[in-house]
Amino acid sequence: MAYHHGNLRQALVDATITLIEDKGPLAFTLTEAARLAGVSAAAVYRHFEGRDDLLAEVARQGFDEFATRLTAAFDEGRPSALSAMERIGAAYLRFARERKGLYMAMFESGMAFGGDSATGQAAHRAQAVLVDAARALFLPFPAAERPPATMVASHIWAMSHGVVELFARGKPGANSPIPPEQMLESGVLIYLRGLGIIPS
């Protein structure tokens, strides 16, 4: 990759995504990102305060794309809230598989993305899709019998993330006879059955 013209800021982000895919989110340096983008290390500081600032921008772009994909999968809960939730789960796994560098920056960097930051706001938009999907599942129930949508969304998010981690990058799940999509779908269905969404 060599930067010649156009958007240097994005070229540095793209270079960082490549480095994260190769080395992980903790092992790359600004010098490496600059070299891969074809510019001097000093040029990085025209756009980013430092390594953490660059990593936060990678994560922000990741959460933006993540939220867009989850929103499209939810499709306003059509044709049913349950099918929409199943599509969201599939979209979650697909994003983690197709956009490894972004996913690693978002969830494996060890950084805390504050709610007021651009990255924190992008993460909140992604979470909001899951909360809306969880809320839609319980609309047929009387209000007093609905569990907190944020809790349900967090449980399903945790389950999705766990499946990603189990199968990611040669981890033990790669030997499982059950593919990740089926593992997540069955786990979510068992969970929802326990909440009374699906009849026993």
Query: pLDDT digit string (tens) for 97-149?
Result: 999 999 999 998 888 777 678 999 999 999 999 999 999 999 999 999 999 99
- Is the model more confident about 28 or about 17? 17
Question: Per mean pLDDT, which range of 38-42, 53-57, 76-80 is the poorest?
Answer: 38-42
**pLDDT for 172 beyond 70:** no
Fold entry, domain 60-194: Tetracycline Repressor; domain 2 (1.10.357)
> E-assigned strands of 36-154?
none
Cα-Cα end-to-end distance for the chain:
55
- Which distant-in-sequence residues (6+ apart) come within 8 Å of 197 by Cβ? 82, 137, 138
Q: How far apart are CA 44 and CA 157, in angstroms?
A: 34
> Structure pTM?
0.89
**pLDDT for 183 beyond 60:** yes
pLDDT confidence tier of residue 173, bands split at 50, 70 and 90: low
Q: What pLDDT shows up at residue 169? A: 67
Q: Where are the domains of the chain?
A: 1-48, 60-194
The chain-wide mean pLDDT, for the chain, equals 90
**pLDDT for 3 beyond 50:** no
Do the beta carbons of residue 188 and residue 86 sit within 8 Å?
A: yes
Q: How far apart are CA 119 and CA 117, in angstroms?
A: 5
Q: What pLDDT shows up at residue 178? A: 86
Do the beta carbons of residue 70 and residue 91 sit within 8 Å?
A: yes
In 3D, which of 148, 122, 149 has the Cα closest to residue 61?
A: 122
Tell me, what DSSP letter sits at residue 141? Answer: S
**pLDDT for 151 beyond 70:** yes
Place of tokens 């040029």: 43
Q: What class does CATH assign to 1-48?
A: mainly alpha
